[in-house]
């Protein structure tokens, strides 16, 4: 069972991850948690952005095709390496 300190640590780490990746919106983060007495060790298993209709419309208005960008990331590109052609 996680105590309040553990939950605060997970929230703080989640916010750091979102800020570091420059993600604004909803993000699902799956952690592996290992207990060591009163301490916990966390490892990120997966990150998944949660899109709403509004965020999809906003991305289209910004001239970025979300599928194109996600495919490039899946192929190993970094955000700063992805050049989105204007459509």
pLDDT tens by residue, 35-84: 887 888 888 888 887 766 555 555 554 555 667 777 788 888 887 777 75
- Burial (CB count <10 Å: 0-12, 13-18, 19+), residue 32: exposed
Return the pLDDT at 12: 92
Q: pTM for the full model?
A: 0.54
Which structure tokens are listed for 6? 């553990």
Place of tokens 């997970």: 10
CB-based burial label for 10 (10 Å; 0-12, 13-18, 19+): middle
Separation CA 51–CA 55 (nearest Å): 6
């Amino acid at each position: 069972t996680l105590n309040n300190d553990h939950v605060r640590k997970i929230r703080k780490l989640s916010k750091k991850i979102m800020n570091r990746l420059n993600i604004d919106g909803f993000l699902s983060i799956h952690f592996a948690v290992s207990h060591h007495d009163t301490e916990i060790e966390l490892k990120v298993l997966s990150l998944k952005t949660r899109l709403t209709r509004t965020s999809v419309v906003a991305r289209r208005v910004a001239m970025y095709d979300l599928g194109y960008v996600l495919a490039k990331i899946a192929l190993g590109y970094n955000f700063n390496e992805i050049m989105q052609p204007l459509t």
